Amino acid sequence: MTDRELHTPEAKLFVGLFDAIPFGIYVVDIETLDLIYTNGLLKENLPSHSSKKCYEAIYNLSSPCSHCNIKKLKQKKTESPQYIDVYQHFNECNDRWYQMQDKSLTWPDGREAKYSIAVDITDMKEVQNRLAEAHAELAINNRKLAEAAITDMLTQLNNRLKLEIEFEREMERCERYNISMSIILIDLDNFKAVNDNFGHPVGDVVLIESAKRFKKSIRGNDILGRWGGEEFMVICPETNLEAGLLVAEKLRSTLADSDFPVVGPVTGSFGLAHFQKGDTIKELISRSDQALYTAKSDGRNCVRKL
């Protein structure tokens, strides 16, 4: 469009409106893709665009943009004359993000055109990305905290809190569905002597290595954790006393057949109890504790049931 044409009353109206908007604006001939007009703000950021197509001047491309929406705007105009296409676009020409608002209109010289308002949102995008990263990091840390709350830090097994949660859940299942459950309470034999004779760091190694051996020996649905000190517990869902005895014996032999660094062989005493209708958690644990005491009294390195 010539300078004379831009100074017609109709064109002045468009130019005045577009120049008053504090964002880059350009107008394109829908049929030829010629760049008809750019407002002052956009013109400051563009090289000379004489006789250039819009894709050359705005995006420094040699062919129409892949995201060109002129066909869409022409179709939408017949359905809704006031339709505005709003989207975000990254301009590789200047490495900036823009919120685009495109609309078709009739230019004062009668040509069908598209005007585009380009709002630079690069800084906002950067803030959004940092915020998203912060949320992701927070979510990761929250998961870590939640995991830490139910994990024994030394052995990386379930801690007592987690065992109690699982215990209560399995007890409810037993009552509701009339299924069995066994628990195995394990106490490492003569563990105080290990700490006294070799020191607590060696004792910690014994606990860690015992946990690894127990973990390899339990079944897929068994729940293993550190009950406290040198005591471990295994919750065996849907397991009667006989099946629980097999699990306990496997754990006992796995432990007894292993040599530990510095201290050599380590054994454990195992107390087994199974759920009985009407049991409370306290009663079931008490029976397994009594069975464990019996195992200790019977010479250790054995399994006793109650």
Q: Are strands 303-305 and 268-274 parallel, antiparallel or unpaired?
A: parallel
The pLDDT of residue 286 is 95
The pLDDT of residue 188 is 97
The pLDDT of residue 200 is 95
Q: Write out the two tokens for 147.
A: 């995991």
Can you tell me the distance from the alpha carbon of 271 to that of 252, in angstroms, rounded to the nearest whole number?
11
Can you tell me the distance from the alpha carbon of 177 to that of 173, in angstroms, rounded to the nearest whole number?
6
Domains, the chain: 3-125 (3.30.450.20), 150-305 (3.30.70.270)
**What tens digit of pLDDT does each residue of 75-117 get?**
888 888 889 999 999 988 888 899 999 999 888 888 899 989 9
The pLDDT of residue 51 is 55
166 is an active site residue:
no
The pLDDT of residue 67 is 86
Q: Which segments in the chain show pLDDT lower than 50?
A: 1-4
Q: Write out the two tokens for 132.
A: 């998203």
- Please answer whether residues 109 and 1 qualify as being in contact, where contact means their C-beta atoms are separated by less than 8 angstroms: yes
Q: Are strands 24-29 and 35-38 parallel, antiparallel or unpaired?
A: antiparallel
Q: Write out the two tokens for 145.
A: 């905290």
The pLDDT of residue 3 is 46
- Check 230, 231, 238, 249 and give the catalytic one: 230
Q: What are phi and psi of 41, to 5 degrees?
A: -65, -45
Can you tell me the distance from the alpha carbon of 248 to that of 141, in angstroms, rounded to the nearest whole number?
37
The model's pTM: 0.63
Can you tell me the distance from the alpha carbon of 72 to that of 84, in angstroms, rounded to the nearest whole number?
10
Query: Element (H or E) spanning 181, and its range?
Result: strand 181-188
Q: For 9-12, which contacts have Cβ atoms below 8 Å and span 24 or more sequence positions?
A: 10/108, 11/107, 11/108, 11/109
21-48 burial: b if 16+ Cβ within 10 Å, else e? eebbbbbbbbeebbbbbbbebbbeebee
User: Environment class of residue 271 by beta-carbon count within 10 Å: exposed (0-12), middle (13-18) or buried (19+)?
Assistant: buried
Residue 242 CA: distances (Å) to CA of 142, 223, 272, 273: 41, 18, 10, 10
